[in-house]
Structure 1
Amino acid sequence: MTTQTKPIDAYSLPTPNGQKVHIMLEELGVPWTYHRIDIGKGQQFTPEFLAISPNNKIPAIVDPEGPGGEPISIFESGAILKYLGLKFGQFYPTDARAQVKVDEWLFWQVGGFGPMLGQNNHFSVYAPEKVPYAIKRYSDETHRLFGVLNKQLADSEYIAGDYSIADIASIGWAQSWERYGITQQDFPHVHAWLERVGARPAVARGLAYGKDIPNHDLANDKEAQKVLFNQRAR
């Protein structure tokens, strides 16, 4: 098994995407250092951070012991999870068919489950003008995606077979089900899964990491909204 002597630097926040990386690093039990990037103050636009994450989004990591022993920086949460799973040989299978299944559900999360729930939250909470069509569009899609996940978990304890990065990718988003008007009665298999994964000590630590400093109250912080929303190319 690969060992890590130098800490992995994680540039992040306790958001659903940031929590993926926190959970993974805690599950792996490798040394890591948390660097808080205050996106409400625009720290994601500094040259130093853009050199690591050119999409100016958290999370991103720098592994000082990357391929060939040389440092490597990685942005995009799904890419980070897959890199760490492959490097340490944990939470990502070695069998080719099993890898395909994990990849399917990892990409399902990063391409749909996260973005659609994010748009739901944006138009329901942050949009200065309430657009009924947009609210219904993303609310319906959120409900549909929870339904997809519920069906997948009906006959399986975890999303893609064994506990894997497919689960780790979805935990932070799914745990906020109440925010989206989702009930336990609607999707009981999702809630049973959340209880199952939530009982893992590393998951509990990963979800809590960084919450000693509250995130911006974006619903009321107009200055942070100016930084985060309606950005164009710089």
Structure 2
Amino acid sequence: MADLKPKVRRRVDKQAILEAAFELFAEEGEAGFSIRKLAGSVGVDPMTVLHHFRSKEELLRAIADHAVRGVEVPVATESWQNDLKAVADTFRSLAHRYPRIFHLHFRYHATGPADHVASEIVYCAMRRAGLSDERAAGLGLAFYAFVLGFALAEAEGLLRPISESDEAELNALDADVYKSTRALVPALKALDPDLAFSASMDAFIAGVAKFTKRPTKPANKPQAGAAPS
């Protein structure tokens, strides 16, 4: 005789669903991810997932924030320059660790609580550098655009020494028209992503320093008729 007992759905809390979603997305990427597939993996109805996360977009944002929780977020120090470098290193590590998830960080102004911890360090650093709030906001976003872009390009394989086929293509270019491009071929063959990232961060920080609002202290001038000290 067939079993006529009704099937009992599992009770799964929001955190368990998020962790399962994170693992599925990290393994399959966005192309292989769906609410239905996630629900099947945890043994619940798709509507249960949407009960906890009102939309797929909200779930994806939570997945991105969960990724930030998986790496060590730095704490603020007395050096605004070192703080920017530390946050940059954090997001670069994030791209290395979760390459299929990382692109989600381009999709949202902030992914949530964990992301806000990092951005507070960045904005504090910008203000402690002496920037106006207007410039701190703009350069803070520029910082993320640069760091996320570099890290994603590296995760996608762009920031690597060029291959033999790349080298052959560059060397086939007209030597008079592409003089500098061809001159850089040896350097591109020996490209070190770590050194490129470090140099890029130094250049960004040097640029931020030029926008300080702190006035330069004028040298003390002797009063008229007074002998120089």
- Please indicate the TM-score interval, normalised by the length of the shorter structure: under 0.3
The structure with the largest helix share of the pair is 2
Calculate the TM-score normalised by the size of structure 1: 0.25
The structure with the largest strand share of the pair is 1
* Larger-Rg structure: 2
